[in-house]
């Protein structure tokens, strides 16, 4: 996973325990709706799969601001499972720990299938 991510232009996001997000070394994200929907995704109207919704111990999970940051920080790749979904891997921090956010969204149903932070 890290080798594939390292070969792509990866930016970083930072989230603290209150799920506040700040971009590092990138232009400020502005409210350009077209930019947020560049992959056919309406972030403001996302739904979450039962699996994602079941992870109540992940405070960042339903942060649409964090999802917007991830989508705008890097180009997605097709879902490694071979579906029509989009997959993002973005380096960042959570509660002071460095790691990677992984996000998979199906643009046809506007559903988050996978959203996890993996600490290094």
Task: List, as own/partner pairs, every contact residues 56-59 make where C-beta atoms lie below 8 angstroms and the sequence separation is at least 24, other chains included.
Answer: 58/115, 58/116, 58/117, 59/17, 59/19
Tell me what the mean pLDDT of segment 32-51 comes to: 75
Q: What residue spans define the domains of the chain?
A: 2-119
Residue pair 42/87 in contact (Cβ under 8 Å)? The answer is no
pTM over 0.75? The answer is no
**Which position has the higher pLDDT, 32 or 69?**
69
Would you place residue 13 in the very low, low, confident or very high pLDDT band (cuts 50, 70, 90)? Answer: low
Rg (Cα) of the chain, in Å, rounded?
13
Report the distance separating Cα 32 and Cα 4, nearest Å: 29
Q: Please provide the CATH number assigned to the domain covering 2-119.
A: 3.30.2310
Would you place residue 55 in the very low, low, confident or very high pLDDT band (cuts 50, 70, 90)? Answer: confident
């Amino acid at each position: 996973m890290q080798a594939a991510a390292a070969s792509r232009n990866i930016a970083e996001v930072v989230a603290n325990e209150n799920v506040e997000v700040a971009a590092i070394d990138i232009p400020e994200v502005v409210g350009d709706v077209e930019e947020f929907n560049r992959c056919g995704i309406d972030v403001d109207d996302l739904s979450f799969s039962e699996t994602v919704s079941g992870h109540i111990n992940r405070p960042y999970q339903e942060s649409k601001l964090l999802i917007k940051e991830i989508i705008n920080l890097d180009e997605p790749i097709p879902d490694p499972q071979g579906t029509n979904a989009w997959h993002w891997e973005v380096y960042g921090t959570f509660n002071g720990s460095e790691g990677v956010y992984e996000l998979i969204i199906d643009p046809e149903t506007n559903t988050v299938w996978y959203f996890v932070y993996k600490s290094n």
